[in-house]
Amino acid sequence: MIEKVLCDIHGSKEMTFSCIHIAMAIDSKEKTGFFYSEAEEDLPQIAWCGACEQWLLDNGEEWTDVFQARADFKMLCIDCFDEAKNKEEEIHIR
């Protein structure tokens, strides 16, 4: 079962994660690109921006400690995750 997070805007919702760049763009409405993994049973969805995707491609596509520090993943509720996803023109499943 995916844990819940208490969002100031949406209340108690399923927990997801996004890179810092997507999380910051929710308020600024900036387009960052949106790459995400298919939801796996009992695991939260996770998304990263175009810049993080490019870093992955340039560095062997491995989720290293360096990548995770660079992405600085933040917890979001599922509604915030969907808002970020829906504002993008291109969405990529990885």
93 confidence band (pLDDT: 50, 70, 90): confident
Average pLDDT over residues 20-29: 92
H-helix or E-strand containing 4? strand 4-7
Q: Range of 29's domain?
A: 4-93
The two structure tokens encoding residue 10: 């949406």
Whether residue 40 contacts residue 94, with contact meaning beta carbons closer than 8 Å, is answered with no
Average pLDDT over residues 61-75: 96
Question: Does 57 score more than 90 pLDDT?
Answer: yes
Total count of domains within the chain: 1
- Rounded CA-CA distance 24/80 in Å is 11
Burial of 54 (0-12, 13-18, 19+ CB in 10 A): exposed
Q: Which of the two residues, 94 and 7, has the higher pLDDT score?
A: 7
